[in-house]
Every structure is written in structure tokens, then in C-alpha cells.
Structure 1
């Protein structure tokens, strides 16, 4: 077993005094930015964790934050969680993970059940709660919202511009000469804000280019997963649906869609060009590799964590809504030169 890293170990790696490390751990403003970055890098390298009991006695804080996500095992959320955990560790915080997969009642229970004495604040990705319900959470703990769910004006919130990103994806397909572009991923029950925004961008891009949106090209799903993408696209092909481009709500659905296209002898991208969403790690290794909307997960994590720590330390200003960057990562499933 590796010995537990101590304050003096961090100081030795960073080349500073123990007092300087303590100042960084407690986020005191008396440390130069370059020195602070060096200490945080040493903290991350050694996996140093401040003693929670001692820290609470000194600061009244636990050094713990909660991260509440719909599904921890979804690759996008797993990758975002890793960024948040690494960044939090460098700031002297540990992360408690909560999962809200099963619906609105579980969201209410998980979020209302986060003990104020256990964590200092919460990073939360709402799905089913209303804007009013989310707004009431601010009474208990510092909250920062992540993603496309309800986002009251009074609360901090980080997301990408899903409408603009979907428009970019569709415009890319249109530039490739695709005119029958399908959208895969409209939930049959209670579409999420994420889906609504992406579908809006899809529709706007078509209309801006003089193409009337066709509701028959909006493909409904009963669940998320590659098997569902495969089932829906297989059904569309067997039903004779004519399409030459496909925007998928996420990469997982796109993987299933490409499997169905392969199974039916449909060539990618020759017959159908495919675009996914999330740029999860495996999308660079599919056959063909997947063109996808790539949110800057590191930037999302950084913005959210910075705002949460500011709230924990006493910031009481109005809610701040931040847009993180994204890019269309072009690969072989919809290449520029095809």
C-alpha cells in the first residue's frame, strides 16, 4: 500500500514551504498564481487529501463536494466526472458521486438528501425537475448546474449551446450534399431539454437552407443505448425510409445506428453520412471513425468547479450562466473531402 501523502510531501515536490501549501489548500488569496498552480499540480501528482476533520475545525468546511449525474456509467458522464474529480483534487476537494437515473422522484430524493454537514456544495445535472424545484435547492447548499436541464436565472449554470452545435452538424451534412437528413433520438416519453434543443438546431439548419423539415425523418427512441439505435435504424431501413444523412442525439445511439447500416449493406459515408454527439473516447476507434459534436469537457468541469468554490467561499451574486466551447470533430463517417 502506498503511504498517505502528507503536507510536507506536497511542499517538497512543489518546492515551497508547508505554510504555502496550507494556504493553497485553504484557498487563501496570499499565494501567487504560478505558485498556486505548482502546488495544485503537486497535490494532484501525489493524490494528497487534506484531513477532513482538521479542515472542518479550521474552516467550517468538509472539503467534500457532491456530483449528481443521471447515469455515472454513461461514457460522457464518466469522462466529465473524471475531469471534475481531477480538478477538485488539485483544489483540495474530494467528490461524492450521486446517481439520479430512475426519474424525478429519485432526483428529488438524492438532491434533497445531500446532507449539508457532509458536503460543502453540489454540482448537479438535472433532467426531470422543473425550474421552480431546482431554484428551491439554493436555500440549502451552494449549487452549480451542469447540462441542458432546468436552469433558474438565480443559479449558476454551465452548458454548451446545443442549438448552435446541432445547426453546425446539420450544416456540415448539407455541405456534403446530403438533403435527406434524419434525426435519431427523440424520446417517445417526455423528451428532455437536451433533445429539444438539439432537435431545434436540426430544424433551424434545414429551414435556413430551404429544406422543409420532414417529421418522418425524426426517429423516436424508447430508451438510450446502442441496441436501441440499431433497432430504430434497422426498422427505418426495412420500412423503406429514404435518408442520406443522420444526426444522432449521442454517440451511443450512433454506434448502434452504424451497426444497423453495416448489417443492411448501407455504406458509410457513401450512402449515409453519420454524425454523433459527445465525442466519447471510443468514437475515434469505430469503423468508420465517428464524426461528432465534441463539447469541451475540461472547460465545462473547470467553469462549474470554479463557480461552485466561489459560492462555497461566500459569493452571493446573481446566477451566472456560462457557455463552454465545442467543436465538430470531423472523422471518416462524414469527412470533409467526401
Structure 2
């Protein structure tokens, strides 16, 4: 049998109005009473009636998350973090996969706006323009990633230039001088890779190190197979790198696989550095060093920005930059795994 507000009120020993105030997050409830009511809600498994909530408050309590591909480990882990953050804020999350296509990014927004399916959305776009999103000016939005960094909207991300520069300097601090990168991108939707290459080149230039022809690899994708192919190409050239910096961990896993096939020792002959610090990174052989930008921090900042817009009724243009650091493991430092103090970013 489904629990009701009255059931919760009886269990908590308070009025139905008090339970309603807690469910709707009204501020005039003491912390002790809120905790008692929440305990009763959890015990009884009470779930608010979304239709009634919409009629009463004009909100559904639902937020959307639009991401390119759930099959990519980074986006899967990001979605997991957003689900957790939404649950902690008594919000329900609806996730849609856009495949990075303009139509895939716009269709869910069009549908949700027309039918009032959610209160607002967090979007990680690759193809839409700022003008596209202006059609949804009435829907609170928060944008993730570099493609949307220039939009006149609330945004959460990292400083890719600074993070890539710090990551490259980290490799240089280990004595690596022949550093190649895998993951360069060009054109619309490729802003992230382009910015990371810019940071890499700046670090190499500032250290007086040469970037040889063929050492900036633009793969056809960001999957393990493309990383393996890039490693084979780099190691077959006339100038072998002594470090390979990959713009995501999936590429780095492929690089590690190919180097193992080729009999190249990691990190003795070639150090390997990834980006994203996926959960699988620590279980690679050797364990993968990686640039870490907290997905939990991204999720929390994005939800809080979105909820602030909902509560204020005003759109936001605030940008939040999430810090970065290098999680150093065996693929760069052998057994001396550590968080490297050289490569820590700070909020802008």
C-alpha cells in the first residue's frame, strides 16, 4: 500500500501541514522536526505525488540530464554522480542520450518545454549553438563542457588549458622531454581537445622542449582502439616519445595495451598519463596516472546552480571552474603512487 502524507504525519507525530512543508523544502521547519519527518518518510517509503506537486507549486521536482553517450565511462560515472546529487536534494533525474547530434540535443528540450516534463536541465552539448538554446530561455539550464563555455548561460567545467599545461609540466618534472599527446580535436564540438593541446604546447614551449611532427595525434575517436592505434603509430616513427599524454583514460587504456604488445616498458621506457581518473584507472596494468577533475564536484555545482535558478525565478550566467590535480600512479611513477602537488588547479 502506498504511504500518504497522513501516514507520514502519524508516524512522525506531527501535522500533515508540517510534513508538506518538509516535502516542499519550506524553510520554516526546525532541523530537529525536519530530521524526524525525513526519518518517517524514509521508513515508510513515501514518494510525493508529482501531479499534485505541479498543481500546488508549478514544479515537477524533476530535472533533466542530457549527455552525449552513456556508453562512455566518463559520462556514465558523471550521470551516477548527478543522480546522487539530485537524490540528496530531493529531485528526480531523467537522463537522455543525445549522441552529440544537434537534433538529439534539441529534441528533449523541445519536448520537455512543451509538455512541462521537468523544471530545468543540465546539458553537456557538442553540437547546439547559443542561438539554439535561446529558444529555451524560459527553461532553467546549466551547461557542462567546453562547447558551451561561451554561451550566455550558467556553466560548470574545468580550465582545460591550465590543467593540460600542469599535466605536461608534471611529466617534465619527472624528466620526460619527448612528450606526445593523443586526443587533439578540431572544429565544432572539438573545443576540449583543442584547448588541451594549447595547454600542452604552452608547457613544452615554456620548458624549451620541441614538439616533433606527428606527436600531436588527432584520433578518429576517444575509444581504446584509437588509443592503441595511436601508440603503434607513435612507436613506429623515427623519434619515439618517452611519455604519452592522453586526453581521456579510454585512449590511455588503449595506449597501455599497445605498448604491452610491443614490449615497451611502462613507465621505464614510456610514461603514460590519462585524463578523467575513471574508476578503472587504478585497476589498469600498470595502474594509470590521470588528471582528476571531481565528477562529484561537477554534479554538485551543476545541481546547485540549477536549483538556485528555480528558486529565484531568474536565469544565471555564473561560471564555476572545478579544480584539477594529477592522480599519480604506476604508469608514470612506478610504485610511488601519489597526488602530485605540482599539478593542482584552483577555482577561478
Q: Report the equivalent of 2:286.
A: 288
Q: CA deviation at 1:189?
A: 6.5
Distance of 1:65 and 1:279 partners within structure 2: 27
C-alpha spacing 1:206/1:41, structure 2 compared with 1 (3 Å): farther
- Contact between 1:50 and 1:92, CA under 8 Å: does it hold in 2? no
CA distance in 2, matches of 1:274, 1:14: 56
**What is the distance in 2 between the residues matched to 1:67 and 1:188?**
26
Change (3 A) 1:18 1:154: farther
Is 2:122 the counterpart of 1:119?
A: no
Matched, 1:319 2:317: yes
Counterparts of 1:1-338 in structure 2 under 5 Å?
Answer: 19-31=17-29, 49-116=47-114, 117-134=116-133, 136-152=134-150, 154-187=152-185, 190=188, 192-316=190-314, 318-335=316-333
Q: CA deviation at 1:11?
A: 7.6
Q: Does the C-alpha gap of structure 1 residues 4 and 195 become closer, same or farther in structure 2, counting only changes over 3 Å? A: farther
Change (3 A) 1:44 1:166: farther
User: Contact 1:49–1:94 at 8 Å: present in 2 too?
Assistant: no
Cα-to-partner distance string for 1:244-291 (whole Å, 9 max, x where unaligned) = 011101000000010001100111000111110001101010000010
Distance 1:71 1:162 in 2: 21
Give TM-score scaled by structure 2 length.
0.86
| DSSP-derived class of the 2:80 partner | helix
| Contact kept? 1:123, 1:146, Cα under 8 Å | yes
Give the distance between the partners of 1:334 and 1:44, measured in 2 at CA: 46
Moved more, 79-88 or 328-337: 328-337
Conservation of the 8 A alpha-carbon contact between 1:187 and 1:223: no
CA contact (8 A) 1:138 1:155 kept: no
3-state SS, counterpart of residue 175 of structure 2:
coil
| Residues 207-216 or 280-289, more deviating | 207-216
Distance in 2 (alpha carbons) for counterparts of 1:170 and 1:188: 20
Cα pair 1:25 1:91 within 8 Å, conserved = no
| Aligned counterparts of 1:215 and 1:37: Cα–Cα separation in 2 | 62
Helix, strand or coil: the match of 1:82? Answer: helix
Q: Which runs of 5+ in 1 are unaligned?
A: none
Aligned-CA RMSD value: 2.9
Unaligned 5+ segments in structure 2 are 338-348
Judged with a 3 Å threshold, the aligned counterparts in structure 2 of structure 1 residues 22 and 104 are, in CA distance, closer, same or farther, namely: same
Q: 1-side partners of 2:225 and 2:319: how far apart?
A: 35
Cα contact 1:158–1:303 (8 A) shared by 2: yes
Aligned length: 335
